[in-house]
Structure 1
Amino acid sequence: MADRDGSIEIIQREMTAFARRARATAARMHPELSLVSYTLLSHLEYQGGCRATDLAAHYTLDKSTISRQVGALEKAGLVERRLDPTDHRVHVLHLTDRGIEVLAQVTDARRVAFQERLAEWNGPDLEKFAECLLRYNDAASRGGMDIE
């Protein structure tokens, strides 16, 4: 049991350091795009647009937090609200052309940074790491505690 507890302690400590580095790296990647903004834009791109309430549910954030973040993204010209064609009472968030461009720039820069950091890892190690991250995030999406 001590080995398991020790491993969990290391994981907790290292994931905290990873999160801090991710925030700092995001700030260097693009001056107007925080890590939170990047993740919201990425989700909007992946989903082809979605409602603000869907973003709040997906990231388990308060609606007011999402509202502030979306407001800042709108003000920056990165997202826009469009009426849902099937329900005109609902607005769906979409990336603007500028939002698509900025997201692509940051995604490319992030990809290069990950490739550099993982350059010395072999294929099986990368596959195992990817598998572990998928399992961890799947457990969190099924009701596990979100930790930042």
Structure 2
Amino acid sequence: MSGERTVAPGDFAADTAVETIQREMTAFARRARASAGRMHPELSLVSYTLLGHLEERGGCRATDLAAHYALDKSTVSRQVAALERTGLVERRVDPDDHRVQVLHLTESGRRILAQVTESRRTAFRERLADWPAEDLTRFASYLERYNAWPEPEPGNG
């Protein structure tokens, strides 16, 4: 990457930018959590995320959810239990290993996930409506690049 420099501690401009990024990402996360309840009262941001993953994967084990999102198994267990109580998720025996239960969306879960996804998409479009296409593309690229950074191994970070 010729001409690019890395962020070094003590670089005032870079330190200021990193602080701004941290503050703005925290505000973004806080806004996302708050808006999740408005989109659907029974669906927290974590629940929405788990439902999206189940849809994307066509189902998976609770332990896979915990590992993928670096969440404690008890946290996932509570979330899954709540999703089961509301009829959004069901457990099915894995046809390849009858000892394993796989979580799947119910029809109700698919319907609510689709509704919330469309509401979120609409909210993002409204918020970004005045942005030039070039800025949207650049912002999307930066988010992908940021989120591609590997998570630390458990116990190392």
Matched, 1:100 2:110: yes
Stretches of structure 1 that go unaligned for 5 or more consecutive residues are: none
Cross-structure match for 1:76: 86
Query: C-alpha root-mean-square deviation of aligned residues, in Å?
Result: 1.3
Stretches of structure 2 that go unaligned for 5 or more consecutive residues are: 1-10
Matched, 1:127 2:137: yes
**Residue 136 of structure 1: CA displacement?**
1.0
CA distance in 2, matches of 1:90, 1:97: 22
CA distance in 2, matches of 1:63, 1:119: 39
* 2:152 maps to which of 133, 143, 146: 143
CA distance in 1, matches of 2:17, 2:60: 38
Which amino acid letter does the alignment assign opposite residue 60 of structure 1? A
**Residue 144 of structure 1: CA displacement?**
8.3
Q: Deviations over 1:67-112 (max 9, x none)?
A: 0000000000000000111111111100000000100110010010
| Percent identity (aligned) | 68
- Say how many residue pairs are matched: 144
Structure whose alpha-carbon radius of gyration is higher: 2
Q: Which has the higher contact order (CA 8 A, sep 6+)?
A: 1
**Residue 27 of structure 1: CA displacement?**
0.7
Which amino acid letter does the alignment assign opposite residue 58 of structure 2? G
**Residue 133 of structure 1: CA displacement?**
0.7
Q: Give the TM-score of the pair, scaled to structure 1.
A: 0.94
Q: 1:144 to 1:135 in 2, by over 3 A?
A: farther
**Structure 1 moving runs of 4+ over 4 Å:** none
Q: Give the TM-score of the pair, scaled to structure 2.
A: 0.89
